[in-house]
Amino acid sequence: MSPDAASSKAAKGLQSISKWPSTGSNAAAVWGECQGSGSKPYQTQVDLSGPAFKCSCPSRKFPCKHGLALMLLRAGGQVGEGGEPPEWVNNWLAGRQDKAEKKEAKAAAAVAAPADPEAAARQQARREDKRWDKVAAGMQELSLWMQDMVRSGLANLAGDNQARAQWNNMAARMVDAQAGGMAARIKEAWALVDSHPAWPRDLLAQLGHWQLLVDAVQRRESLSAPVKADVMAALGWPMDKAEVLALGEQVADEWHVVGLRSMEREGRLMERRVWLQGRQSGRAALLLDYSQGGRGFETAWLSGRSYRCALHFYPGHSPLRALLAGGNAEALVEQAAPLNTTVAAAALADLAGRVAANPLQAAQPLWCAQVQLQFADGQWWAIWPEQQGGLPSQVPVVVADDEAWHLLALTGGTPMLGFGEWEPGRGHVGCWRLLSAWQTDAAGVSQCIWHHRSENI
């Protein structure tokens, strides 16, 4: 569960019961007070139904070193069983239970028929029309802004001291227009400016994707329901979770966690992407979670492990994003079947089909079998096998230097099965953000040998 190696090392340094004035546990939770540098000890607690972590320390990592150390102490039999939790633990558990009950009630209310369906439909239509008007006005302004940039030349952005402020202003305008997804795209695209010699080409590709959205908003009345859902998702128009749970396609399977990506954004907002691969269905799924102000995520996922649960997919063409039915994984599969390596057999064809179905999806899952890492000209590259024709033999890889060298040490430079996010519009063909690496033994059992750590944005 550790977010990085530094947290693991720090947790082991706290794995001494003498540093914990009080500890306790029962069937629902584990709690303890850890003496830090201040006069008041840190209050650490773990809800075992998740597990979910909370600690009064200022760390932004989930779980923090105190939560990890507490679980290590429990695993070592140093935390007593039974007893009544202190008030601060009961209050937290009660708050989590209350929140879960409210979510269930909201989902049940969405399924139940409204007292006046026609009136409710009219109110919903009026709200959507008002929002579409705001979005359309904002996107029209974005289109004019893009035309001005192209007319004056994208390369001139590198020497323009006022450009950053202008881009931030346009991102804020998109928030006002209720197109938060567009605001995020603008902020991420600014990072391309002057980042490498061919950055104007990559930025132009981003503008092309934005123009697709501008045109789609203008033609929204003629779009089919799935395409309209894809456009709304790309704009950051959230669909009510209760509606997704009630109406979305449900797929029950044994899901392998093949990729985890945690990012800290502005305002202490943590974003977590959990990529899953269904063993029986062969479906790829993306769970997107957010945590604000130091709170932990509701559900814990471990890279390389398998969970038996049902997912509800958001509407759209070739949908990837999904919600977990019931809010928590039903069961961690202890004797899970090995990952089926055939997921990489038609990886490029699957990617092409998803991009054709929904070119507005920002990141796509991509497998590659028998891939090797190589460092050349200050850049990491994936050496693609010849049978994966359609891509150049070398593909740019986004991976930290220390993690890439660690992975090479683990594999000895031999080919491996890799999984990551394909990001179009960067480099000549795009780039591959590596999230996990797997090796298959002589018995055909695939094991996760490396996974991506957290990052700051």
Interval 326-342: pLDDT, tens: 655 556 676 667 777 77
| pLDDT at residue number 327 | 52
Reported as a pLDDT band with limits 50, 70 and 90, residue 110 is low
Exposure string of 200-228, with b = 16+ CB inside 10 Å and e = fewer, is bebbebbbebbeebbebbeeeeeeeeebb
List pLDDT tens digits, range 139-186: 999 999 999 999 999 999 988 889 999 999 999 999 999 999 999 899
Task: Map out the domains of the chain as residue ranges.
Answer: 5-108, 128-233, 248-332, 341-456
Q: 277 vs 303, which has greater pLDDT?
A: 277
Strands 331-332 and 455-456: unpaired
- Classify 35 in phi/psi space as left (phi over 0), alpha (psi -120 to 50) or beta: beta
Regarding pTM above 0.75, the answer is no
CA dihedral over 410, 60, 322, 382, signed as positive or negative: negative
Q: Which range is least confidently modeled, 164-168, 188-192, 203-207, 381-385? A: 381-385
Reported as a pLDDT band with limits 50, 70 and 90, residue 456 is very low
| pLDDT at residue number 444 | 66
List pLDDT tens digits, range 24-53: 888 888 989 988 877 788 999 998 877 888
3-state secondary structure of 225: helix
Class of domain 341-456: mainly beta
Percent of the chain whose predicted confidence (pLDDT) is above 90? 35
Q: How far apart are CA 133 and CA 115, in angstroms?
A: 29
**391 has a pLDDT exceeding 60:** no
Reported as a pLDDT band with limits 50, 70 and 90, residue 370 is confident
| pLDDT at residue number 101 | 75
Work out the angle between the directed axes of helices 199-218 and 180-190 (0-180°, nearest 10). 170
**115 has a pLDDT exceeding 60:** no
Asked if residues 197 and 379 have their Cβ atoms less than 8 Å apart, the reply is no
| pLDDT at residue number 457 | 42
Of these ranges, 18-32, 314-328, 427-441, the one predicted with the greatest mean pLDDT is 18-32
Strand partners for 257 = 276
List pLDDT tens digits, range 394-416: 888 999 999 999 999 999 988 99
Q: CA nearest 41: which of 11, 21, 15, 63?
A: 21
Q: How far apart are CA 240 and CA 357, in angstroms?
A: 23
Backbone angles phi, psi at 293, to 5 degrees: 65, 35
Q: 287 vs 119, which has greater pLDDT?
A: 287
Q: Which range is least confidently modeled, 47-51, 214-218, 306-310? A: 47-51
